[in-house]
Amino acid sequence: MTQSKQVGWAPWLVIAAGIVAAMHIGKLPPTIPVLQQQLSLSLGQSGFLLAGIQVAGIAMALFVGLMAEKIGLKRLQVGGLLILAVASALGSFAHSFSALFAARLLEGFGFLSIVLVGPSLIKQLVPAHQLKLVLGFWAAYMGLGVAASLLLAPNLLHVLAWPRVWWIYASLALLMALLLWRFVPNVRVQHRDDTPPLAQLLKQTLSHPAPWLLGILFASYTSQWFAVTSFLPTIYANADIAATAAGVLTALVCLSNVGGPIVAGMMLQHGRPAWLLLTAGFVMMMVGAVVAFAGEGVLPFALQYCGVLLFSAGGGLIPGVVFAYVVYLAPSQQTVASTMGWVQQWSALGQFSLPPLMESLVTWWGSWRNAWMVCVVLGVVGIVCALRIQRLVKRMA
């Protein structure tokens, strides 16, 4: 295969690696009922397992981003896939919560290694005039991967024991690592000897307003999307939806999130302003949350579900813009990965902290009817950050 063909396919293999990483996140929720039965896990322990990825992000996202250029973009992503494979294989041998949680933490580190360098690697592989469009496809990795697992894992669990299912996921990560190693060329932003010291990269990243604004904005989106999708089983239970149908409905919600990043990438490619796409995304999320939650006990479930679909589909516009503008607004070429790390760290913090906060508020309110208020507050925060980001874009124009 020629080098030109390698480069041509390479960005799509990077995107496929992100999807495989997200599949490892999505494999756990369908497995939780089996784990609760076979390993006697409590509800609280199940919650900690689900939050394992976020713990890794909170602790290490910025550090991994800072190290990305030192280690090498391709090498770090291939290494992340190998870590996912090892962690999934080790998890299949777990007979206790502590062993399974340790494997989940290791998976979190592998996941970070893959997704943090994705935008930087794509930037080196794609011509500048196609970058925003391809980054829009990259931003769909989470919705595609999680939805794929929500559809695949339950069917596998019907015919295989859960450790065998986790071995299948380990094999998938290993295969993806081999494909990346074979077909993605080695790229570096610059010669490693010229890379600034970590302290300088850290100062460049955290002294610039763009990483902070992008991080807060992205956390405003991911935290509420993760919280709402996590609590969908409760909404289904309140509406007496069968468990078999619930998995399909949740997968459709995740799939509805996929089109947004791609549309955002296309619209950015055609010169549409970022602030408009971000604002539209947050407004759609706010409207969808009002319909989904304020309509509890008033609207039929079908309309509430349409509200959830609007919430997820509208929110999909946001990562498509954020990933493109991490590349565009990073303080320097060498801080793209560290900026992505800081953004991911904010996202992980939001995803870890919002679900228990929302659950506490719902318990206090006595129902889900007022949960839309949380989404509206976060939506307003996101819109304010979007307008501030637009000012930065105008200064750079």
DSSP code string of 85-98: HHHHHHHHT--SHH
Hey, what CATH topology would domain 3-184+195-396 get? Growth Hormone; Chain: A; (1.20.1250)
User: Residue 167: its pLDDT value, please?
Assistant: 97
User: Residue 5: its pLDDT value, please?
Assistant: 38
**Buried-state track 75-85, b at ≥16 Cβ within 10 A, e below 16:** bbbbbbbbbbb
Q: Cα 5 to chain center, whole Å?
A: 29
If you average pLDDT over residues 50-63, what whole number do you get? 83
User: Residue 2: its pLDDT value, please?
Assistant: 38
128: which DSSP letter?
A: G
| 6, pLDDT greater than 60 | no
User: Residue 1: its pLDDT value, please?
Assistant: 38
| 45, pLDDT greater than 90 | no
Structure tokens of 341? 């790390």
In which band, very low, low, confident or very high, does the pLDDT at 372 lie, cut at 50, 70 and 90? very high
Please, what is the average pLDDT of the chain? 88
Break the chain into its structural domains and give their ranges.
3-184+195-396
| 3, pLDDT greater than 60 | no
Alpha carbons 244 and 248: distance in angstroms, whole number: 7
User: Residue 360: its pLDDT value, please?
Assistant: 82
Which range has the worst mean pLDDT, 185-194, 311-320, 344-353? Answer: 185-194
| 86, pLDDT greater than 80 | yes
* Long-range contacts at 240-247 (CB < 8 A, ≥ 24 apart): 241/301, 247/30, 247/150, 247/151, 247/154
User: Residue 170: its pLDDT value, please?
Assistant: 97
User: Residue 105: its pLDDT value, please?
Assistant: 92
E strand or H helix that includes residue 369: none
Alpha carbons 305 and 203: distance in angstroms, whole number: 45
User: Residue 23: its pLDDT value, please?
Assistant: 95
In which band, very low, low, confident or very high, does the pLDDT at 52 lie, cut at 50, 70 and 90? confident
- pLDDT tens digit sequence for 211-268: 999 999 999 999 999 888 877 766 776 777 876 677 788 889 988 998 999 999 899 8
- pLDDT tens digit sequence for 114-168: 998 999 899 889 988 888 889 989 989 998 998 899 889 888 998 999 999 999 9
User: Residue 81: its pLDDT value, please?
Assistant: 97
User: Residue 57: its pLDDT value, please?
Assistant: 86
If you average pLDDT over residues 359-383, what whole number do you get? 89
List Cβ neighbours of 285 (8 Å cut-off, separation of 6 or more): 221, 224, 225, 310, 311, 314, 315, 375, 379
pLDDT above 70 covers a percentage of the chain that reads 94
